[in-house]
Amino acid sequence: MSDQRAAARDSVRAMLLPLALAQFIASYAATNMNVAVTNIAQDLGTTVIGVQTAITLFTLTMAALMIPGSKLTDIWGRKLCFRLGLLVYAVGGLVAALAPGVGVLIFGYSILEGIGSALMIPPIYIIITVVARDVTTRARGFGVVSAAAGVGAAAGPLIGGLVTSAISWRASFLLQVLVVIAIIWLSRRIADPGVQGTRPHFDLLGAILSAAGLFFIVLGILQSSTYGWFKSREDFAIGGVVLIPKGSISPVWVFVAIGALFLLWFFLHIRSSQRAGREPLLRPSLFGNRTANLGLVTQNVQWLTMQGSFFVISVYLQQQRSYSAIETGLILTPATAGILLSSAAAGRMARNRSQRFLVRGGFVVTVIGLVLVLLLASASRIIGFVPGLLLMGLGIGIMLTASVNVVQSSFPEKEQGEISGLSRSVSNLGSSMGTAIVGSVLVARASGSPFAAALITMLVFGLIGLLAAIMLPPDAVARQPAGEVAPT
């Protein structure tokens, strides 16, 4: 057994660099554009709204296609799906770098990079789960990947600002292409036997329904910054025709309702498909695992809190303190350092503490960090941000790794493709919700203390996540001895 674990540790270690780099580049792509919106709009002769639309569509594409992309790993193989996603992503980055207008930018960045991300992200978590047979090794692998995700999201504005200021926003896309080419070369280290036995059927209708449902839900949430959550702040019009007048119900709920109907149709479809003996896109039994369900809630809240908090702090530093994009990125460095430190210690913490304890502890530390930012950020000296941001980073790094371990380890190898896609979709939904929610709070509270109100909102969500973590059962992670993955 010890020889097998040693071999597993060596295998995971050999594959971690390309897997972590791929996760880093996808997280980086979701945040680095924010600091270059004005430059891109001027260069392409479009508006800021046009560029923001491209950023929104990237998130939508990735979230909507994550579940179908994950299912393809069972059909094409994990390594092939991973490398194909990288190739599509690289082509998208090159198209975006050469874009003469916003339409081509949307095609390269929003569509192709979004599709590439949906193909390459799920295999990362599946490969680590099935290769690392014990909790400690798996936690160490997830720790590295989670650190790459957190650092990519946190450092995106800093790196994007540096590259845009020093060269051009186009160079940022070319940098992504170069990194992806390097990942493709490094991915030869990944050991994957490919598809064994009969290839499963791809549920096309299920893929369309799930993608449509997630698309409309995320689209609706993103509308909250413009129209508000309850009453519409302005007319909602399509093609010059006002469909929802100002003061009526917010279009947020119209889109969310459409998405919910598609997801209900999706659930009825996969249930009927399984009863008929066909292969559904997701097995309905995935939603019957209490540990995994609570783990998914914590994942959603983690990304919601992280992205929402970083967004509002960045806006505060630039609008209220008049710091540049580069200076803002530097000020957020303590959070990045905290994520790196706690993620690096993930293996050791998993060996000494239960995953339930780590998820709870991560939320507690993050909440304390948010409170400190609220209390100390108003100080004239920028050093007031350091304690809170450092604790937020430490807490996020602790719980990102542990919650992924909880969810992925709750299912056997044959279901890893499905749960990985569901897990990544839930995380992306959290990211979209975090930015949209704080954006809507900032707009709604234009007077008074909008930034404090937005951070307090994130604090409330952090407490909700802590409650979900408290409800995790004592044997969270796996029910097998020594924390090994359930047998297939």
pLDDT in tens, 212-270: 998 888 788 777 777 877 788 887 877 777 788 888 888 888 889 999 999 999 999 98
Please report whether residue 427 resides in a domain.
Answer: yes
Please report whether residue 96 resides in a domain.
Answer: yes
Q: Tell me, what DSSP letter sits at residue 231?
A: B
Co-location of 227 and 371 in the same domain: no
Co-location of 424 and 461 in the same domain: yes
Q: Quote the domain boundaries for residue 307.
A: 2-191+281-481
CB 220 within 8 A of CB 236: no
Co-location of 352 and 265 in the same domain: no
Among 301-315, 321-335, 386-400, which is the least confidently predicted range?
A: 321-335
Co-location of 477 and 360 in the same domain: yes
Co-location of 356 and 372 in the same domain: yes
Burial class from Cβ neighbours inside 10 Å (0-12, 13-18, 19+) for residue 6 reads exposed
Amino acid identity of residue 121, one-letter, is I
The secondary structure of the chain in percent helix, strand, coil, rounded to multiples of 5, reads 80, 0, 20
pLDDT confidence tier of residue 202, bands split at 50, 70 and 90: confident
Sorted by sequence, the CB contacts under 8 Å of residue 103 that are 6+ apart come out as: none
What mean pLDDT value characterizes the chain? Answer: 80
Q: Which of 17-26, 47-56, 135-144, 449-458 has the highest mean pLDDT?
A: 17-26
Q: Residue 373 has what pLDDT?
A: 87
Co-location of 428 and 453 in the same domain: yes
pLDDT confidence tier of residue 463, bands split at 50, 70 and 90: very high
Q: Is the dihedral of CA 243, 247, 249, 252 positive or negative?
A: positive
Q: Residue 88 has what pLDDT?
A: 95
Helix (H) or strand (E) holding 397: helix 386-408
Alpha-helix runs per DSSP H in 223-289: 224-227, 251-275
What tokens were used for 433? 């919700």
pLDDT digits 0-9 by tens, 10-32: 666 677 888 889 989 988 887 77
Please report whether residue 90 resides in a domain.
Answer: yes
What tokens were used for 321? 């303190």
* Coil vs helix vs strand at 243: strand
**CATH code for the domain in which residue 187 is found:** 1.20.1250.20
Co-location of 268 and 306 in the same domain: no
Nearest CA among 309, 289, 373, 342 for reference residue 154: 309
With b for 16 or more beta-carbon neighbours within 10 A and e for fewer, the 350-362 pattern comes to beeebbbbbbbbb
Co-location of 271 and 126 in the same domain: no
Please report whether residue 410 resides in a domain.
Answer: yes
* Coil vs helix vs strand at 280: coil
CB 301 within 8 A of CB 472: no
Please report whether residue 198 resides in a domain.
Answer: no
- pLDDT above 50 for 67: yes
Please report whether residue 348 resides in a domain.
Answer: yes
- Measured distance CA(357)–CA(349) in Å, rounded: 10
Q: Residue 95 has what pLDDT?
A: 95
CB 222 within 8 A of CB 432: yes
The residue from 257, 280, 303 where one domain ends is: 280
What is the DSSP secondary-structure string of 323-346? --HHHHHHHTHHHHHHHHHHHHTH
The residue from 280, 306, 338 where one domain ends is: 280
Co-location of 43 and 55 in the same domain: yes
Co-location of 171 and 232 in the same domain: no
CB 36 within 8 A of CB 164: yes
Q: Residue 478 has what pLDDT?
A: 42
Please report whether residue 415 resides in a domain.
Answer: yes
Co-location of 253 and 336 in the same domain: no
Mean pLDDT over residues 295-321, rounded? 83
Q: Residue 7 has what pLDDT?
A: 55
This prediction's pTM: 0.78
Co-location of 249 and 388 in the same domain: no
pLDDT confidence tier of residue 432, bands split at 50, 70 and 90: confident
pLDDT confidence tier of residue 485, bands split at 50, 70 and 90: very low
CB 206 within 8 A of CB 67: no
Q: How many domains does the chain have?
A: 2
pLDDT digits 0-9 by tens, 99-132: 998 889 999 998 999 999 989 988 888 888 777 7
Higher per-residue confidence, 368 vs 335: 368
What tokens were used for 319? 């609008």
The residue from 216, 245, 280 where one domain ends is: 280
Please report whether residue 458 resides in a domain.
Answer: yes
Q: Which of 58-72, 77-91, 189-203, 422-436 has the highest mean pLDDT?
A: 77-91
